[in-house]
Structure 1
Amino acid sequence: MAGSLLIGSDALASRRDVAAGPLAPLAQSLRADLAPLLEAPNIQLPSEKARMTRTGGRCPVHGVLLRFDPQSPRAHACPICGETFTGDEHYRWWIVNYQLWLAERAVHGAVLGVTTDAPDCRALSVRILDAYADAYLDYPNKDNVLGPTRPFFSTYLESIWTLQLAVALDLLEQGGEAGVGDRVRERVLEPSLALIAEYDEGSSNRQVWNNAAMMAVGAMLGRTLIVERAFDGKSGLLAHLRGGLLADGSWYEGENYHQFAHRGLWYGVTIAERLGLVVPDELRSRFAEAFAVPFGTALPDFTFPARRDSQYGVSLRQWRFAESAELGLARQDDPRLQAALVELYRDDVQAGDTERARSTAEAERNVGPARLTRASLGWKSLLYARAQLDAGGTATRQASSVHLASQGLAIFRRQAGQVYVALDYGVPGGGHGHPDRLNLWLVDGPSRWLEDVGTGSYVERALFWYRSTLAHNAPLANGTSQPYGDGLLRAWDEQGDVGWVEAEFDIVPGRARATRRIVVMRDYVIDELWWASADEITLDLPMHVDPEEGPGTGWEPAELPQAQGTGFEFLREIERAKGKAFDALTVSRDGASMRAWMQSDAPCEWYRARAPGPPGSAPRRFIFARWRGRAGRTRSVWAWDAGISNVRFTPETVALSLGDGSLHAHREIKQSWHVRTTLGDASSEVVLGGRVTNPRQASPPLSDAISNLPRHVLAAGRPFTMELGERHYRRSELPWEAAGSPEATLRVASGRDAVDVDVHVRKAEPYFAPARPENPLDNEDPDINSDGIQLYLFLPDSQAHGSWLLVPDHAGGVRVTQRQAGGSVPALEADWRLTPDGYRVRCRIARGPRGLGIDRAFMLNVVINEISRDRERRRGQLVATGATGEWVYLRGDREDPHRLLAFEIVDA
């Protein structure tokens, strides 16, 4: 391979002419960014490891990330209020950004060194690499949040960081620099690769970066097997191109992670091409399509929709998005990318700081919109971007509708793209997905009437609100967020300004299904939701608007169950509407208004409450309707144009009278949607088709999904006993033996009044953390970071399921935190005692009509947390259902409900 990991020798030679010619302003601006480091006598590295906490790096008042200044490790300003914070928790978060920033500057120095013949830039890159060769092994691989790592707390961050250092060294050596390579390989790349390679995150966007680092470093170290695994292993590059990047070019985890993952895929594809590894044409096309996807789903204000775990209100007018479009265009012509670049490079946008000088490698740090030019781009553009863009062209926002069929997102645009109506119905989005199938969007210019507000901080309690169905405009059953699963398309078609989409989702697996249809016209949208259930259910439909109070409207205080994990626990000021349900409402905000007409074929109750608003904003009020029964239908018309004078619902039609005298009549006929427009004696009709007839596999209820588990019979004098050891250990940084080889005996026995679950843990020096009102590290229960027990119970007959977190207390009792996910679970009592080789916890679960009952089946899982006194996060877990090859990170006190031990009580 002649050349580097990213670019061949001949291509690099030609880039020198580009860097000295058309892209000279870019080269000069990148050099200007390096000025503080070029002038610094030494490279400064923090001696501490980065640390993640709930408050670190965020303004305690506004909740936003503090401004990152690489020259200010101990003082951090809020971009909103301007207040400066100096606590150690902020410094330890600053370390994350600084380490990534510095590693990226090593790449900048190397790129400028080989493209502009700048010896001082090359020397800077060498100094950074040399400093890391001295320091890397001194950082401890301990107390991590998400995988093994030394400088950081998550493996993917180390992967991004290591990748930067590898690219910098590779470019330096291509330019003839040979002095630092051996030390960096031995003291940084080799040990870092070992950590990265042992932690596989499957289909996650983070694994994309692990793969990129393994391909780059593996190639530099001659580790062929590592490179092959990262390329075509079960969670390698090809697997991500095939399964993570969907057929429509979108990343399965949503817009926020689309851009992040696609940047990592760019490294992987580029390195693969340089190594002669073949990416199939279909996957290359999918990769190319992904460059245009963020511009296709953009909202009218040129932000991306905050679906799933996305940041809210993120503008596409950032240099990263411009560079992505440039890199896509460098690979092939695409008029969508050309149009996006014309839009991004508009000169009538307000000037501002692009913050490229403080960019932190490839980690996400979104900033506000600013005027961009090609001089605002990054180092990749200096190596790859076209020398010249095509002259001419006009800035054109996306004005046409988009249907991402693989993602399951149907977007209808009206009025030159200023009106945006969408139904989010498809794939759930993995670990970053939200339970929001059939979520409705309605945006009119700057007015976001119905939307998804994404997610705030991952370590704040409000995360559980943003990840609830109630936080969306989507249906939920029985006061509980939707189950995990795919929605299914039933119809999609568009003809001119008339379009429709219909999709369905099992809101109770195997028992209840909801179907939603939206019909989008030029001035309004019809929204229809219906459901059918095998059982009596409660169905809620949130609408995140706060309508004006009209004549006869009144509210009275109300109470609702607020179980943990449902979203309802976040509601405040709950009120119920007096009298009949709404038949019309008006919503006003910032001088704009929206009208809606509503009809339901079954009685419903209307509620309103206050809940967290979009991340970084104050709480806001919203409404939701509630129905009870086995089936029902509700219809509404939402109009952004004041020209609608009347709406009439009949069982078969929706009829609208418009201000120009025309009448629109909508009805379904033989699986098609008919829209007849009448004005005087003239009439016309549009017939929408696109009906999908694919059969649907019903989702089985949990009891069916686990009905084939082997059953353990409990009878008097016949307890169940299991020994837990290495194959049950779920590790963190240390494997089972290095963690002290913890073991346990699990014993389950049935008596007349109760089932006893006895757990005898054998480990040296158990540590029982004191009670804490909150977890300073993240939003998990603080008691997971202690020696203790997690107990899970499922009763298949009643579908009740709950869990308990138990920590022995030095005062002699057991601190019990109950989690109840659904149904009535029996009472639990617990006691404990120290033993010569560890400790013992006994749980008694009551039998009886509301408990296990005589001859009743039940299912359990037991998870044993273990920690050492020198750690702040737990070290590992023993899991009764087995844990070979598993890691403890990010699990909290949550377990897969399908992984249970099944029991049957047989009384004499």
Structure 2
Amino acid sequence: MTVLLSAQAIVERRSIACGTLAPLAASLRADLAPLLAAGAPWIPPEKAQLSRVGGRCPAHGTQLEFDPWSPRAHRCPDCGTVFQEEEHYRWWIMNYQLWLAERAVHAATLSALTDDAACARLATDILAAYAARYAQYPNRDNVLGPTRPFFSTYLESIWLLQLTVALDLLEAGDGPGALGAEVRERIIRPSAALIASYDEGLSNRQVYNNAALAAAGALLDEPSLLARAVAGPSGLEAHFARGLLADGTWYEGENYHLFAHRGLWYGVTIAEAHGHVLSSEGRRRFREAFATPFATALPDFTFPSRRDSQYRVSLRQWRMAESCELGLARGDDPRLISALAALYRPDDGAGASGRATSTAEAERNTPPVPLTRSSLGWKSLLFARESLPPLGGRVPASVHLAGQGLAVLRRDEARTFVALDYGESGGGHGHPDRLNFWLVVGESRILEDVGTGSYVDPTLHWYRSTLAHNAPLADGRSQWRATGVLTGYDERAGEKAGLVSARASIAPGVTVERTLVVMDDYVIDELRWTADRVITFDVPYHVDAEMANGGRWGSAVLAGGRGLEDGFDFIAGSEHLTGTPGRLFHAQVGDVRVRAWVDCDTPHEWWRCVAPGPPGDRRRRFLLLRSRARSGTARSVWSWKGTVSACAFDPGGISISRGAWERHDHRRDGDAWQVTRVRRSEQTVRRLGGALPACEGTTPRATAESSPSAGADLEPGANAATPSLALPVAAGIVPPLGEVAGSLTTLPATAVSAAAVEVTADAPEHAAPLRFPLGRAHYRRSEATWEDAGAPVATVGLLATPTHVVVEVAVRADTPTFAPALGDNPLDNEHPDINSDGVQLYVGAAQGAGRYYSWILVPEPAPVPAHEPASEAAPARVRVTARAAFGPPLPLEASARLTPDGWVLRAAMPRAALVSGGAGDFTLDLIVNEISPDRARRRGQLVLSGGRDEWIYLRGDRQDAARALPFCLPE
């Protein structure tokens, strides 16, 4: 038994590879020709590195071309500029390592199916070269999990998967040999152990971790490793149940559906080959997932760039054709046959498919090109049907993906695409864009979602804001993460009128329902909101439109939230206009002339703003309707064929004139919608929608962060049921820096379960503060365990004076490393001060909704004279960076000092600013960042609320506010 196919199955595939699929085999062999002629493969000595600069044109933000034969020269496809900086080379290494590993699979496949000796030698040489090099790459300074050649675990998983399959195919004929033993012991076993140490739960990346572990388990003959990858808590079956939704879509959206499903294919194929019986529902979802990417295709045959998707990516790529072929290999599906008809459609265009420079499963999307079966990949040579059934296309129909929460209503032979994105929030790659409205006509994208650009560019935070979408927001803040609920859907084949409506809670106490009524040549958009207070209600419309019926714009600043992903900081210019009923806008979008009538039943205003456009494109203008009320309704009519001549709004409905002889009257009727068509003397009535039964909830999924483990010392676990701890009160002034550290006493663990810590009226002038020793149980690791990191420890002390709350952190560190102030982080999109010894402080107040504050604190000590001991060093200033400030101003003052065994930092906050009247409840969490001099990224964290079994990756300076410890300031 091999990893993917039995030895007998490989023998049976030989006739197909030399028969109907011979053109594919020849095409793959031609891709290998330069590598076959080059001699021994070159292996980069350096580890790949992620940086803000690497791999992208600084002028356009475009990905630089990947040329496996050009490690030091990297060309921008937009402007033609060639870049030679080290950062580009280190990014190129990532692509090259994946490319070379995949070439080993190509060569091994051709060797197994066509007895090509030269390809066998190439695959052998690649495996041998990696066996000699792998252990020399350092497992250090990674971005997303432990890895040696790369900076993220999932990349090593993809890489290992290729090498494992390549070795397996090489051995299919001759059995294990000396090379096999070497590769197993020097690559597969240690790499699999490293991958197994880092579990990413339901992330799309874990799909590839599972696939690599399954392949390694099969090749190492370790059934337990294979069983874990299939049936473990984060294994294949768990992803079937909680990652693939009931409609066959991956919960993180289209872009990650395509990526995750390719990884699931490996897992399913390996599991089936080794006798694992998968659940029938899981297999159904997996089969359905081959077809779902085409269900939501836009009129230009791209997939919607929802959530963290790349923008405007064509489905006409060889990977998509191969996915269809692999789906058909499992059984007939008319949707896949139709998709292949579109993918293989003859075209006058020309261009390379990109397969020759493909980087395994870490795809680099390319422009659409003509495709045939000879454009496919190695999987098709092993699994595709010998011949295809007759290919025939069909016009895409409207579709409702209930699991994903996306309804697409199509008109005009699918040239018009109207969608409401309401449901699944999408996890870590989701955006706060519930009730997002799409309108696309042909090539013209009137209202769209532009996805996400680079993860290491600051604009990432714009694309992840509600403001960047055609979705509502409250009080200038991005929506909180929630899943919307369908409230109406009525779309019938052959009918010209359809409806979809959904409801979502977009902020505490704020509920919005959006209804789209879709006709042949216009769409009605109705937004109704209710709140438990007066709110500022915003509706962005991302179209550059002009006002058609009077009024003058005036320059003004659009106020909004200052949160990193509220989006308002990205607005470069804004204009203001007082709202009037039924205002008309018009815009030219591509070859479509659009008219929009908009009405709001509450006092409102219009804003026209400039903000980032689609990734890699220029800035562009958009409209925003703003109202301030507890409840209200905003309605609009969007027309794109010029057939709507006028619209009249009244409290009961909308009357739409279509020339002199036809009128459509729309009325809401409870949960339903009534459309009355009046043409001359004829009248027809169509009733849409109506109440739906309660929607079944989606299967709950665990968050990426595990809950804190209970640890030693004082670690209550930080939950709402934990009683507040009363702070000891010092009667006098705050003692000088350093004295608190000397007087700290450990608070007994039993105090956590007490109602409060007793504070006597005659508290001493220097009362002993609460003391929290932090150690192993609080450590959040990177590649190094707590022990490997030198067993870092710290002590946190809290004390209240009549005027202040004081926090002091005493850290033991042999070589404190404090980063200099930087304007930008050269490595990624996080704040640069996280990669330093320092403190992250989080404070919340129970009084008043949404009061929350956070800071990053980095000491800036003056050099200590050689003749003075560290304990005599003068107090250092502290670089204080406020990261969140939701509520009235909360001043914070800080100072620090080096000590003989590390450093001490103290921060003080006015108690009257923290809690009303200086007494009451508040929450606090604190993180000590620690780094070593040989690292570019932090090594680990000591977390007050607990960090055991947690990892630092992707956390930046963010911390779940619900984990903070509760405290009480007594009178």
Aligned residue number for residue 264 of structure 1: 263
Aligned residue number for residue 321 of structure 1: 320
Q: Per-residue CA shift, 1:526-558, capped at 9, x if unaligned?
A: 101111111121111111111124342321111
Matched, 1:23 2:74: no
Matched, 1:870 2:934: yes
Taking the TM superposition and a 5 Å limit, the aligned residue runs for 1:445-844 are: 445-495=442-492, 496-509=495-508, 511-561=509-559, 563-565=562-564, 566-577=566-577, 580=580, 583-659=583-659, 661-689=661-689, 691-694=691-694, 707-716=720-729, 717=767, 719-799=769-849, 800-811=851-862, 812-844=876-908
Is the CA contact (8 Å cut-off) linking 2:861 and 2:897 kept in structure 1? no
Aligned residue number for residue 388 of structure 1: 387
Aligned residue number for residue 124 of structure 1: 122
Is the CA contact (8 Å cut-off) linking 2:579 and 2:605 kept in structure 1? no
Which amino acid in structure 1 is aligned with residue 106 of structure 2? H
Aligned residue number for residue 99 of structure 1: 97
Work out the CA distance in 1 between the residues paired with 2:68 and 2:314.
24
Work out the CA distance in 2 between the residues paired with 1:820 and 1:783.
15
Which amino acid in structure 2 is aligned with residue 803 of structure 1? S
Aligned residue number for residue 76 of structure 2: 78
Taking the TM superposition and a 5 Å limit, the aligned residue runs for 1:107-146 are: 107-146=105-144
Is the CA contact (8 Å cut-off) linking 1:827 and 1:851 kept in structure 2? no
Work out the CA distance in 2 between the residues paired with 1:157 and 1:671.
49
Work out the CA distance in 2 between the residues paired with 1:591 and 1:317.
23
Work out the CA distance in 2 between the residues paired with 1:816 and 1:854.
23
Taking the TM superposition and a 5 Å limit, the aligned residue runs for 1:291-310 are: 291-310=290-309
Give 1:658 deviation, angstroms. Answer: 1.3
Give 1:693 deviation, angstroms. Answer: 4.0
Is the CA contact (8 Å cut-off) linking 1:852 and 1:858 kept in structure 2? no
Give 1:822 deviation, angstroms. Answer: 2.3
Work out the CA distance in 2 between the residues paired with 1:437 and 1:337.
30
SS in 1 for 2:491: strand
Give 1:86 deviation, angstroms. Answer: 0.8
Relative to the length of structure 1, the TM-score reads 0.97
Give 1:396 deviation, angstroms. Answer: 3.5
Is the CA contact (8 Å cut-off) linking 1:554 and 1:578 kept in structure 2? no
Is the CA contact (8 Å cut-off) linking 1:595 and 1:638 kept in structure 2? yes
Q: Per-residue CA shift, 1:468-526, capped at 9, x if unaligned?
A: 000001011111111111111111111222211111111222x1111111111111111
Aligned residue number for residue 706 of structure 2: none
Q: Per-residue CA shift, 1:94-117, capped at 9, x if unaligned?
A: 100000000001000111011111
Range 898-907 or range 845-854, more displaced: 845-854
Work out the CA distance in 1 between the residues paired with 2:887 and 2:580.
30
Aligned residue number for residue 12 of structure 2: 14
Is the CA contact (8 Å cut-off) linking 2:847 and 2:916 kept in structure 1? no
Range 318-327 or range 11-20, more displaced: 11-20
Taking the TM superposition and a 5 Å limit, the aligned residue runs for 1:847-886 are: 847-848=911-912, 851=915, 853-886=917-950
Aligned residue number for residue 361 of structure 1: 360
SS in 1 for 2:546: coil
Work out the CA distance in 2 between the residues paired with 1:609 and 1:651.
29
Range 4-13 or range 866-875, more displaced: 4-13
Give 1:675 deviation, angstroms. Answer: 1.4
Give 1:579 deviation, angstroms. Answer: 6.5
Matched, 1:404 2:401: yes
Is the CA contact (8 Å cut-off) linking 2:482 and 2:506 kept in structure 1? no
Give 1:464 deviation, angstroms. Answer: 0.4
**Structure 1 unaligned regions, length at least 5:** 700-704
Give 1:660 deviation, angstroms. Answer: 7.0
Give 1:54 deviation, angstroms. Answer: 0.4
Distance change >3 Å, CA 487–CA 718, structure 1 → 2: farther
Give 1:706 deviation, angstroms. Answer: 5.8
Aligned residue number for residue 210 of structure 1: 209
Is the CA contact (8 Å cut-off) linking 2:593 and 2:641 kept in structure 1? no
Which amino acid in structure 2 is aligned with residue 575 of structure 1? E
Aligned residue number for residue 56 of structure 1: 54
Q: Per-residue CA shift, 1:117-137, capped at 9, x if unaligned?
A: 111111111111011111111
Q: Per-residue CA shift, 1:641-674, capped at 9, x if unaligned?
A: 2111121112122221113722212222242222
Work out the CA distance in 1 between the residues paired with 2:694 and 2:963.
31
Is the CA contact (8 Å cut-off) linking 1:343 and 1:396 kept in structure 2? no
Which amino acid in structure 1 is aligned with residue 810 of structure 2? H
Work out the CA distance in 2 between the residues paired with 1:357 and 1:709.
58
Is the CA contact (8 Å cut-off) linking 1:349 and 1:370 kept in structure 2? no
Is the CA contact (8 Å cut-off) linking 1:711 and 1:902 kept in structure 2? yes
Q: Per-residue CA shift, 1:730-755, capped at 9, x if unaligned?
A: 00000001101111111111111111
Work out the CA distance in 1 between the residues paired with 2:678 and 2:475.
43
Is the CA contact (8 Å cut-off) linking 2:582 and 2:649 kept in structure 1? no
Give 1:439 deviation, angstroms. Answer: 0.5
Which amino acid in structure 1 is aligned with residue 129 of structure 2? A
Work out the CA distance in 2 between the residues paired with 1:821 and 1:636.
36
Is the CA contact (8 Å cut-off) linking 1:643 and 1:660 kept in structure 2? no
Work out the CA distance in 1 between the residues paired with 2:496 and 2:285.
29
Paired residue total: 896
Q: Per-residue CA shift, 1:602-646, capped at 9, x if unaligned?
A: 011111111110000011111101111211111101111211112
Q: Percent identity?
A: 55
Give 1:349 deviation, angstroms. Answer: 4.7
Which amino acid in structure 2 is aligned with residue 831 of structure 1? S
Q: Per-residue CA shift, 1:424-448, capped at 9, x if unaligned?
A: 0011101000000011000011110
Which amino acid in structure 1 is aligned with residue 656 of structure 2? L
Aligned residue number for residue 704 of structure 2: none
Q: Per-residue CA shift, 1:870-908, capped at 9, x if unaligned?
A: 10000000111001110001110011121110011112x
Work out the CA distance in 1 between the residues paired with 2:449 and 2:141.
34
Relative to the length of structure 2, the TM-score reads 0.91
Work out the CA distance in 1 between the residues paired with 2:779 and 2:622.
45
Is the CA contact (8 Å cut-off) linking 2:847 and 2:915 kept in structure 1? no
Give 1:561 deviation, angstroms. Answer: 3.6
Distance change >3 Å, CA 787–CA 497, structure 1 → 2: same
Distance change >3 Å, CA 388–CA 734, structure 1 → 2: same
Q: Per-residue CA shift, 1:330-356, capped at 9, x if unaligned?
A: 101000000100110011251111010
Work out the CA distance in 2 between the residues paired with 1:760 and 1:582.
63
Which amino acid in structure 1 is aligned with residue 331 of structure 2? Q
